[in-house]
Amino acid sequence: MPYERTPSTDPLLTVTGDLLVIAPRTAAPARPAPTNPYRRLLATPGARAFTAGNLLARLPMGMFSVSAVIMIAGSRGSYALAGAVTATGLAATAVVAPWTARLVDRYGQARIAVPATAIAALGSLALLLCVHYGAPAWTLFASYAATATTPNTGGMSRARWAHLYRGDPAALHTANSFEQAADELCFMLGPALAALLCAALFPEAGTLAGAILLMTGVLIFAAQRATEPPVAPRTTRSGSPLRAPGMPALLAVFLATGAVFGSMEVVTIAHAGGAILALQAAGSCVAGLLYGSLRPAGAIRRRLLGCLAGMTALMSLPLLATASADSLLALAGALLLAGAATAPTMVTGMTLVQRLTPEGQLNEGMTLAVTALLGGIAAGSATGGWLVEHTDPVSGYAAPVCAAGLALAVAAAGVRRR
């Protein structure tokens, strides 16, 4: 029977006459790299998984205080008690958080974050049960103080980006901008979600959902071991990051910046209600994403001065809107624009913290910055509350302008000393 040749469909096989020729397979054309900096960021192997877990864990950060206030005030009929309990938790966090971060740097994120989060989640559940069953007031303080072991999930995520992009300042700038936008988004959605759950289901629903989200998110985040920064040898650690040159002045800048946020929040709630604050967070979120898409230029300390100067100028807009026309629409636009300066300031400040912090202590350094920010928020809230109660909204809106000006002056003094 004669041999019948059939055309080959395999690109490796070619029939020429009676010969079978094996041709090398040509390589497939390389897929072009994404041009969007955020798509390139999330295309990093493992980035999407730890980002998803971190966002789940970070959302409750904007839920817990609101949920606690609604739950305690609704059960005990006292906003003073609710405020004292949440203030105690904030003070406990300021003390415990840097120690938790130090343990994370020393033993690794997964080994410390999971048990620390479990303790914090149990504290939230204990608070829920004490409120529900009418336990003595001191048990509320003790339970909420236990939540201070919550690890700084935003700092751990930034530490992973710093490890992945330690040789690429432009990509790290984009990563820090992404993290700041995520912060703004979580603190914008968290309180609204907490209030909705407490109103639609039961008063303890916000706290319960927050504890579940926190524990689930940290478990997912900690499971991504491939992107976890390695633990630095003990020989590279040199005391607290507070001793790093320039760090005390930078933390003072974060303290004053926190006062901007705290005073603006209290004054706006007293003057126009809490819902309008979402505009400030939205403006900051959008500005952070835009800022991250740009390539940073110039010395980082000079960039920080420029951001602080812009924040000081834009924070005067709510003051001008309230003084010139008592219009809610004008105030809404002013808050939207004022928020546009906060994210670039925070992104640049956190990048400088990463550069000043000694190797192997990054989580502790960034947690110190967050602790300073929280301290400033508490001081700004108290100042704004006093001004609202004893003066008028126009005077109240002067507080964030003065705090931003103080942050600018401290940063400028630090730059001159260097």
CA separation for the pair 219, 35 (Å, rounded): 32
Please count the other Cβ atoms lying within 10 Å of the Cβ belonging to residue 263. Answer: 32
- What's the pLDDT score for residue 382? 80
pTM of structure: 0.81
Residue 45: φ, ψ to 5°: -55, 125
Q: Enter the DSSP assignment of 202.
A: -
Provide the pLDDT for residue 78: 77
State residue 276 phi and psi, 5-degree precision. Answer: -70, -20
Give the chain's residues under pLDDT 50: 1-14, 16, 19-23, 25-28
Strands 13-16 and 19-22: antiparallel
Q: What pLDDT score was predicted for residue 124? A: 92
pLDDT digits (tens, 9 = 90+) for 17-47: 554 444 454 444 555 556 788 988 888 898 9
User: Which CATH architecture fits 236-418?
Assistant: Up-down Bundle (1.20)
CATH topology identical between 48-231 and 236-418: yes
Helix (H, G, I), strand (E, B) or coil at 229: coil
Owner of token pair 């509320």: 140
Supply the pLDDT for residue 238. 58
Contact 411, 296 (CB under 8 A): no
Is 407 in contact with 308 (CB distance < 8 Å)? Answer: yes
73 exposure class (CB count in 10 Å sphere: 0-12, 13-18, 19+): middle
- DSSP SS3 for 412: helix
CATH class as words, domain 48-231: mainly alpha
Domain boundary assignment for the chain: 48-231, 236-418
State the angle between helix axes of 247-272 and 328-339 in degrees (0 to 180), rounded to the nearest 10. Answer: 160
Q: Which residues contact 128 (CB under 8 A, 6 or more apart)?
A: 71, 204, 207, 208, 211
CA distance 71 to 205: 9
Phi/psi of residue 8, each to 5°?
A: -85, 140
Would you state the pLDDT for residue 3?
A: 43
Contact 185, 51 (CB under 8 A): no
The token duo for 68 is: 């606690």
Task: Compute the C-alpha angle 347/353/356, nearest 5°.
Answer: 145
